[in-house]
Structure 1
Amino acid sequence: MTPDNWTKAIDAANQRLDILLQRASQPQDMSRWQDAPVVMLTEAIAEISISLEELNVLAEELQLQNQELIATRQQVEAERQRYQDLFNFAPDAYLVTDITGIIQEANHIAAQLLQVRQSYLIGKPMSVFVHPDARANFRQLILDLQQQGHIRNAELRIFYKEGETDFPAELTAVTERNRTGKVTSLRWLFRNISDRQRTAQKLREQAALLDITTDAILVKDLHSQILFWNKGAENLYGWTATEALGKSGDTLLFTNNSPQLQQAKKTVLETGAWQGELHKVDKNGKKIIIASRWTLMYDAADLPKSILCVDTDITEKKQLEAQLLRIQRLESLGTLTSGIAHDLNNILTPILTVAQLLPIKHPQLEEDSQQMLELLATSAKRGADLVHQISTFGRNSENNSINLQIATIISDIEQIIKRTFPKSIEIKTDIATDLASVLGDSTQLHQVLMNLVINARDAIPDSGELSISADNLFIDEDFAKQHIGAEVGCYVVIKVADTGIGIHPDNLDKIFDPFFTTKAIGKGTGLGLSTVIGIVNNHNGFVTVSSQLGIGSEFQIYIPSNDSPISLLKFNQILPTGNGELILVVDDELAIIQITKTVLESHNYKVLTAENGIEALSLYNQYQDEIQLVLIDMMMPIMAGDMAISTLQIINPQIKIIAMSGLETMKTLIEFSQAGVKKFLPKPFTHQELLRQIHELISLNT
């Protein structure tokens, strides 16, 4: 019931009463006069009853309206209280300001963040709680808010009471307008984002760590699609993150569907983790060996989602391990062969010496016999060379080091191969004009180059090119770390390259193994490259090799350079003879004693012989004043050579001694432990070497 309806109902009741009064005041017919009052009264009562009934209905409607109004008022009050509760206890801070920024309302969280009472905020400029350095920005935010109607996710530094309140805040604000569209107030929501910024900074630091690590870190889904790719992965594989993301890791990093890869996938899905070695390729197709660790990642529902891979390049490590294994194999063989080298050389010494001596003592021998003796001498020398090659596998075998020029050796090799190699092979040399000298054994380095060029020749089937170059090289620390035996310093690097058939990748790790050869039976012993690496190691150098099938191979020999002045070996070509000097020959091998005695006596020396150290001491005591020199073997029964030498030096400190041995490593032992031993004669020896050393030592200080 509205007020208008109420007024209309009262007016209608009054109109009916007025009509009834008008009728009562008019003259009536006398015949009916007596009943008129009763009729009028009845009608009046009826009209009043109707009006009262209408008024009662209106009163009831009014009461209902009042009840509804009270309920509505209560609902509005509840909604207002609910809004106020939401406003006060919202998780974010709320402020309502006028258009100039004066605070009109503030909730509890705003007061807590600003560390003041809630009532204290009312009437204060919001700029009071903004850091001085950020107030210009705040004023600009107010202008932007009034023009645009809202701002979102703006950052502002909140500051109050000289730093007691100081935190970064994220602001969101809207304008409140009246019916005419005029801005009446500004509503601000802000929150402390210190934790978020710290988390973001931590994430940035973690991301930076992921990027600066040398390991490649990548994440791929269960179908191998790459989802994450760090800087380490870019550096290792060559693909940028833009190029790699979304691509298949199997296609990008593998040349084929390897069993290793399939096993890794199977294991990580079954157990949640896998680690092992994988052979991969980079952007340029270069093959690399990777130590990979895989971890299965799960989603919020604890279902497998992706695989985290951490990859480390171990290509250089595996190469170094291969080098070390090769060196260990050579050292093991050197240890094994040293035990039999002495006996082999003792056997070969008399054969070689007799074969050379018989044609001298018996010049009347038939030509066939002389040829047979020459063949015998040649075979003995080949046997001695074979023993010598095996002996060089040991790291401690010695060389007759002098300061020499590699260029001279290369020139000699060039002349030999140009005369003997097929004309279809083009020979090229390139030697640096300022090539440094090296400290080494000319004969052994000559053998190194001969072995390499012969292998190069055999690798060229019809026609091709063989090149030898030499240059100076400074090896830095990074290069030295990648090659066993290399040290920081100056080297001479010799390269022997060919355009032959190349070396199969499966054989690259075996080519330096003793007796390994891919040549046909009778074409090679398998000792050539073993000898090369043994000699180079003894010169404190190292060897590297690179090869491609169908393109060719290149061997690089690195030898430390030397700045000492060059000196050349000069040999006396005329065999010296003695002047009747007495020589004491000591050896447990009767054949060596006999042939040595024969050689010496045929060249005007006198000889005493002893089969062991005790017998040698006895003879020396008897003929001390006459004996000019002692030739003694180092390995004998009863009393070894070193013990006998020590005793002889006690008897006569000026005694002249030449030590003999079938082990070249014995030379180092003699030099360090026997100061009086000036000469070492390795077995097997020729009669020229025997006579030369005896002559040189006897002539010393005489």
Structure 2
Amino acid sequence: MRKLQMIKENFKQAIVEAHQRLENLSQLASLAADKSIKQDYPIELLQQAITEISISLEELQQQNEELVITRHLVEEERQRYYDLFNFAPDGYLLTNVTGIIQEANYAAAKLLNVRQSYLIGKPMAVFVHQTERQKFRQIMLQLQQQGQIRTEELQLSHKQGSTDFPAELTAIAVEDSQGKTQNLRWLFRDISDRHEKEQKIREQAALLDITTDAIIVEDLHNQILFWNQGAEKMYGWQVQEAQGNNAWELLSKKTSPLLLAAQKTVIEQGMWQGELHKFKKDGEEIIIASRWTLMLDAVGLPKSILIIDTDITEKKQLETQLLRSQRLESLGILASGIAHDLNNLLTPIMGIAQLLPLKYPHLDDISLQMLKILETNAKRGGDLVRQILLFSRGSEKELTIVLVSQLLQDMKQIAQQTFPKSIDISTDIAPNVGIVIGDSTELHQVLMNLAVNARDAMPNGGKLSISATKLFIDENYVRMHIGATVNFYVKITVADTGVGIDSEILPRIFDPFFTTKEVGKGTGLGLSILMGIVKSHSGFVEVASQVGIGTQFHIYLPSKEGSISQVIDEKELPSGQGELILVVDDEVAITQITKTALEFSNYKVLTAQNGIDALNLYSQHKDEIKLVLMDMMMPLMSGETAISTLQIINPQVQIIAMSGLAKGEALLQSTGIGIQGFLAKPFTTNQLLSFVQTIFR
């Protein structure tokens, strides 16, 4: 357009110059007539005029040709601008100051789903969604006052064309030479795709907040850039408290080598994962499974680190409990094997110590005293083996009603009589604590063990607190504690204000033979046996401790109601009526002492060293044998197989099983073998004879 204007001006100048030349010629002609110049002068003047006119005509023709060419160029340029205007991806509208559409491009018509001609003369407000027309009026007012608007969002629609979409508006007011608004120019585009993407981003953000994992973004200097709701819940810090702070200072008490190694690895390799110990806002330490990913900028340089943290504290606690349970179970299997052999050794010793005074009633007092010591120590050995068997959770118990309040009062009385006066002993027993069913001796041992440990932890005195309460354990609690079931429990707590237990060794205190006491002052079996006793009562144990503050042991035992029969006290040695009894055991000493005890009480006895011999003897004397005493663990043929075979030979056979393992009875019951009784080794002569007599009643 500018070039065309210049050509027009040049053309006008050429015409002016041509007129000037003609004027000059006209003046020359007049001058020649006035002065009667020579005859040939008019001819020269005419030739000069023709020459000047030719030059002017050539110049005019040249200027005209340039003007035509320029007009074509301008027309082409105008067509390109029109095409650009008409087919631009964004809609374009030109309205007057009242919003009446004067021009509209093809894109605007297409976006509004109408013909271009349909738009001309229509108020622009017609194509604004009715819910946003008030907003459109405010935009119009703002445009007239400020001269332009940028990136306003407005919902456009057309009821006939069923068009409805969000649009981004940009507009400008065009003024005339007097500064008065002449028209309004509008540019708008469909931003539905953007809204969908924003919606997806919002949904993804919602997912980030819904997840229970903590999602954190840190820069390369550990400054927190992003902190989701999962992080708020996990660590207790709100987003405004966390963002901008140093993550290591916020969540770790000190910079550990593991953190430095993790950062180095993620920068070099792009990712890292492992376990970290972090701290919540309230100071609680939790175990985290952390996964780090390096984030890059547009040119591929490290920009930030995306961290996803999962709280695995509960999982690690369960794993620790499971490993401890498996470890104790393995040791229990080993202990069972040792206990079996020890019981086989103790049984004849105990029997001989009881039989010798009966067989030789005139023994002197010293001999009788020595035999009594032998019997007492054999019983103590049997009790020790019985404690070891608690590892296998199958030792036979004398189950009775145990009044918890009485049990704790008895323990308090013993502690007050034997503990240093510098230790203050108190009890707090809930009125409704109730009863448990168990072995009162074992439960007493559990509490005394804890009380003695508490005493040793307070060499300079302190406070020993013993409490008991009844509570209900629900499913949420059961998920976190192996061995717990949904039930009412009696919770017994033994707490001290002693030196406490270091957190690093706390998980090991129930391991057999682990002790922090000096050599000769502890076997390391106390808490292991305690754990076995509690588990055998279907209970579980919790412990909490802080160095310098004290320790609390919590014993959970299932609460029961009702009663159970007490075991009948031992009576005088009963006598038989000459009944024939077959004793089967691979230990010669046991068969001999058992035979002696039975014969002394007027029974007849046959002995066998294994199951095969026992079957042969029974086949020969099956009409005479009234009872079979059968050991469960023998070479060549097990007691279980021998019993099954005897029952085939004679379904009415009377059998008492013997075993150094308390789980032998449970084994028989689980396999469905019917017997008349079970005698656990080591047994006293009284127990043997009383058991036999119950069969013959």
- For the criterion TM > 0.5, the same-fold answer is yes
Task: Write the distance in 2 (CA, Å) between the matches of 1:260 and 1:389.
Answer: 44
Task: Write the distance in 1 (CA, Å) between the matches of 2:67 and 2:635.
Answer: 132
Task: Write the distance in 2 (CA, Å) between the matches of 1:623 and 1:267.
Answer: 81
TM-fit CA distance, 1:38: 7.2
Which of 518, 521, 527 is residue 516 of structure 2 equivalent to? 518
2:507 match: secondary structure: coil
- The question of whether the paired residues in 2 share the 8 Å contact of 1:575 and 1:691 is answered with no
- The question of whether the paired residues in 1 share the 8 Å contact of 2:644 and 2:673 is answered with no
Unaligned runs of 5+ in 1: 25-36
Which of 347, 350, 367 is residue 348 of structure 2 equivalent to? 350
Q: Deviations over 1:226-257 (max 9, x none)?
A: 11111111111111221111222222222222
Q: How many aligned residue pairs are there? A: 685
| Aligned AA (1:166) | D
**Counterpart of 2:5?**
none
- The question of whether the paired residues in 1 share the 8 Å contact of 2:498 and 2:549 is answered with yes
Describe the shift of the 1:72–1:639 C-alpha distance in structure 2 as closer, same or farther (beyond 3 A). Answer: closer
Task: Write the distance in 2 (CA, Å) between the matches of 1:549 and 1:136.
Answer: 70
Which of 529, 554, 563 is residue 566 of structure 1 equivalent to? 563
- Structure 2 residue 453 is matched with structure 1 residue 462: no
**Counterpart of 1:606?**
603
| Aligned AA (1:578) | S
Q: Deviations over 1:513-552 (max 9, x none)?
A: 1111112222222111111222222222222211111111
Which of 293, 296, 315 is residue 294 of structure 2 equivalent to? 296
- The question of whether the paired residues in 2 share the 8 Å contact of 1:545 and 1:554 is answered with yes
**Counterpart of 2:417?**
419
TM-fit CA distance, 1:299: 0.9
- Structure 2 residue 575 is matched with structure 1 residue 578: yes
Task: Write the distance in 2 (CA, Å) between the matches of 1:412 and 1:655.
Answer: 47
**Counterpart of 2:238?**
240
TM-fit CA distance, 1:605: 4.1
Describe the shift of the 1:486–1:500 C-alpha distance in structure 2 as closer, same or farther (beyond 3 A). Answer: same
| Aligned AA (1:311) | D
TM-fit CA distance, 1:664: 0.7
**Counterpart of 2:93?**
95
Which range moves more in the overlay, 543-552 or 651-660? 651-660
Task: Write the distance in 1 (CA, Å) between the matches of 2:63 and 2:171.
Answer: 41
2:559 match: secondary structure: strand
Which range moves more in the overlay, 188-197 or 612-621? 612-621
Which range moves more in the overlay, 582-591 or 48-57? 48-57
Provide the aligned C-alpha RMSD in A. 4.1
TM-fit CA distance, 1:221: 1.5
TM-score by length of 2: 0.85
Which of 112, 115, 119 is residue 114 of structure 1 equivalent to? 112
Task: Write the distance in 2 (CA, Å) between the matches of 1:365 and 1:286.
Answer: 70
TM-fit CA distance, 1:172: 2.1
**Counterpart of 2:328?**
330
- The question of whether the paired residues in 1 share the 8 Å contact of 2:169 and 2:186 is answered with yes
Q: Deviations over 1:339-358 (max 9, x none)?
A: 23211111122223444555
TM-fit CA distance, 1:279: 1.8
- Structure 2 residue 281 is matched with structure 1 residue 283: yes
Task: Write the distance in 1 (CA, Å) between the matches of 2:271 and 2:466.
Answer: 51
1:677 match: secondary structure: coil
Which of 383, 392, 395 is residue 394 of structure 1 equivalent to? 392
**Counterpart of 1:636?**
634
Task: Write the distance in 2 (CA, Å) between the matches of 1:180 and 1:583.
Answer: 138
| Aligned AA (1:492) | V
**Counterpart of 1:216?**
214
- The question of whether the paired residues in 2 share the 8 Å contact of 1:405 and 1:566 is answered with no
Task: Write the distance in 2 (CA, Å) between the matches of 1:163 and 1:119.
Answer: 15
Task: Write the distance in 1 (CA, Å) between the matches of 2:430 and 2:360.
Answer: 52
| Aligned AA (1:669) | L
TM-fit CA distance, 1:479: 1.4
1:239 match: secondary structure: coil
| Aligned AA (1:569) | Q
TM-fit CA distance, 1:225: 1.6
TM-fit CA distance, 1:286: 1.9
**Counterpart of 2:313?**
315
TM-fit CA distance, 1:689: 3.5
Task: Write the distance in 1 (CA, Å) between the matches of 2:510 and 2:83.
Answer: 87
Unaligned runs of 5+ in 2: 1-8
**Counterpart of 2:430?**
432
- The question of whether the paired residues in 2 share the 8 Å contact of 1:93 and 1:109 is answered with yes
Q: Deviations over 1:15-69 (max 9, x none)?
A: x989x99xx8xxxxxxxxxxxx57999xx99x99999999999999999999999
Task: Write the distance in 2 (CA, Å) between the matches of 1:248 and 1:237.
Answer: 14
Task: Write the distance in 2 (CA, Å) between the matches of 1:164 and 1:71.
Answer: 48
**Counterpart of 2:164?**
166
Describe the shift of the 1:378–1:267 C-alpha distance in structure 2 as closer, same or farther (beyond 3 A). Answer: farther
**Counterpart of 1:27?**
none
1:223 match: secondary structure: coil
- The question of whether the paired residues in 2 share the 8 Å contact of 1:634 and 1:642 is answered with yes
Which range moves more in the overlay, 477-486 or 372-381? 372-381
TM-fit CA distance, 1:480: 1.2
Task: Write the distance in 2 (CA, Å) between the matches of 1:121 and 1:252.
Answer: 62
Q: Deviations over 1:273-330 (max 9, x none)?
A: 1111112222222222111111111111111111111111111111111111111111
2:392 match: secondary structure: coil
- The question of whether the paired residues in 2 share the 8 Å contact of 1:102 and 1:125 is answered with yes
TM-score by length of 1: 0.85
Describe the shift of the 1:165–1:50 C-alpha distance in structure 2 as closer, same or farther (beyond 3 A). Answer: same
- The question of whether the paired residues in 2 share the 8 Å contact of 1:273 and 1:295 is answered with yes
Task: Write the distance in 1 (CA, Å) between the matches of 2:73 and 2:356.
Answer: 137
Task: Write the distance in 1 (CA, Å) between the matches of 2:580 and 2:422.
Answer: 56
Task: Write the distance in 1 (CA, Å) between the matches of 2:691 and 2:449.
Answer: 29
TM-fit CA distance, 1:587: 3.0
TM-fit CA distance, 1:695: 4.7
**Counterpart of 1:473?**
471
Q: Deviations over 1:481-540 (max 9, x none)?
A: 111122223222222211111112221221111111112222222111111222222222
Which runs of structure 2 are paired with 1:504-543 in the superposition (5 Å)? 504-543=502-541
Task: Write the distance in 2 (CA, Å) between the matches of 1:472 and 1:357.
Answer: 48
Describe the shift of the 1:163–1:59 C-alpha distance in structure 2 as closer, same or farther (beyond 3 A). Answer: closer
| Aligned AA (1:106) | A
Which range moves more in the overlay, 309-318 or 142-151? 142-151
1:159 match: secondary structure: strand
Which runs of structure 2 are paired with 1:115-264 in the superposition (5 Å)? 115-162=113-160, 164-264=162-262
2:468 match: secondary structure: strand
| Aligned AA (1:420) | T
Which of 553, 556, 559 is residue 555 of structure 1 equivalent to? 553
TM-fit CA distance, 1:147: 3.9
Which range moves more in the overlay, 313-322 or 515-524? 515-524
TM-fit CA distance, 1:671: 3.1
> Identity of counterpart residues, as a percentage?
58
Task: Write the distance in 1 (CA, Å) between the matches of 2:694 and 2:565.
Answer: 17
1:669 match: secondary structure: helix
Which of 336, 339, 348 is residue 337 of structure 2 equivalent to? 339
Task: Write the distance in 1 (CA, Å) between the matches of 2:517 and 2:354.
Answer: 33
- The question of whether the paired residues in 1 share the 8 Å contact of 2:570 and 2:687 is answered with no
Describe the shift of the 1:662–1:292 C-alpha distance in structure 2 as closer, same or farther (beyond 3 A). Answer: same
Which runs of structure 2 are paired with 1:549-698 in the superposition (5 Å)? 549-563=547-561, 565-567=562-564, 569=566, 571-572=568-569, 574-578=571-575, 580=577, 582=579, 584=581, 585-600=583-598, 604-612=601-609, 613=611, 629-649=627-647, 656-673=654-671, 676-698=674-696
Describe the shift of the 1:475–1:218 C-alpha distance in structure 2 as closer, same or farther (beyond 3 A). Answer: same
- The question of whether the paired residues in 2 share the 8 Å contact of 1:95 and 1:189 is answered with yes
Task: Write the distance in 2 (CA, Å) between the matches of 1:526 and 1:696.
Answer: 41
| Aligned AA (1:577) | P
